[in-house]
Chain A
Amino acid sequence: MSEATVLDELPGDLMMWVLIVSELLVFGAGLAAFLAVRATDPAGFAEAQSFLNRSAAGLNTVILVTSGFLAALALPLREAGRSGISRLALVAASLLGVLFLVIKAVEYSDKSALGIGWDSHPFFTFYYLLTGFHAAHVVAGIVILLLVGWRNAPRNIEVGTAFWHMVDLVWVLLFPVIYLLR
């Protein structure tokens, strides 16, 4: 007779949680390094940060958490047999992901127009590295959301949306550190 372990409590797939923890550690190390380097040049980091568009990043936060909400809705909808609406929620979530990327691209384009590149200041090295790596995860997440919308077994939706929530989770930690802390 098998006994339930504490691992059985974990919702979804164990390997997805391993990935989530790995990603949190990578981004966490990046954010800690960012603040450690900032401590050596707080005035330079504050000046560089003043070139960021906080409103656009705030809007992107609203977009991403709303996208996460729609993705989270997809599973209970699918389990209730409302497959079509569940698919619609996943497509809407992925479209919001695309909108996030469009706003991010405008943000990068604005920096480029000002002559700001990754090597303009250590702040921007971290900025492009962390937000760019996150944006790459958004691209992967959009593809995964569309895939699980297509092959929409509840198990697929649970695992696929967990990746999207990880992208969301990283952003709510990255956004305040890079954009808001002055």
Chain B
Amino acid sequence: MTTQALITGWLALLVFSFVSTLIAVWPIPAHWQALAGAAILTLAWLKARVILGRYLGLAQAPFWARGFGVSLALFCALLLGLYLIPVML
């Protein structure tokens, strides 16, 4: 992995972390909580993809990057579903 790719990956992680924390501390109306939760979990998925691709080098192994990306997306969708149960009821 090139130093440039590592730097952009690190910056992306900082931005995604900042945005997800901002969403969590922002006084969001109750009826927008589900959307905020979905945004936070989407950012978590993006952060995981950056770590896998840039830090762990999967960007150079497209087959495995795709496999991990899809598996993590399904896992985050499961977390979102569980999170939304009380919001939807």
A residues bordering B, Cβ < 8 Å? 6, 9-12, 20, 28, 31-32, 35-36, 38-39, 42, 54-55, 58, 61-62, 65-66, 68-69, 71-73, 75-76, 161-162, 165-166, 168-169, 172-173, 175-177, 179-182
Please tell me if the beta carbons of A76 and B1 are within 8 angstroms of each other in the complex: yes
* CB contact between B82 and one of A36, A73, A166 (< 8 Å): that residue: A36
B73 within 8 A of A: no
CA distance in complex: A181, B87 (Å): 12
Interface of B is mostly: helix
CA distance in complex: A176, B85 (Å): 17
Interface of A is mostly: helix
Q: How many A-B residue pairs have CB under 8 A?
A: 121
Known: A6-B63, A28-B75. A69 touches B10 (CB 8 A): yes
Chain B residues within 8 Å of chain A by Cβ, number = 45
CA distance in complex: A72, B20 (Å): 24
Binary contact readout B44-57 vs A (1 if CB under 8 angstroms, 0 otherwise):
10011001101111
Known: A6-B63, A72-B6, A73-B6. A165 touches B21 (CB 8 A): no
**Interface of chain B residues 29 through 66 with chain A (CB within 8 A):** 33, 36-37, 40-41, 43-44, 47-48, 51-52, 54-58, 60-64
Q: Within the complex, what minimum Cβ distance (angstroms) separates B82 from chain A?
A: 4
Residues on B with C-beta less than 8 A from A161 are 55
Please tell me if the beta carbons of B79 and A177 are within 8 angstroms of each other in the complex: yes
Please tell me if the beta carbons of B64 and A10 are within 8 angstroms of each other in the complex: yes
CA distance in complex: A180, B85 (Å): 17
CA distance in complex: A55, B25 (Å): 9
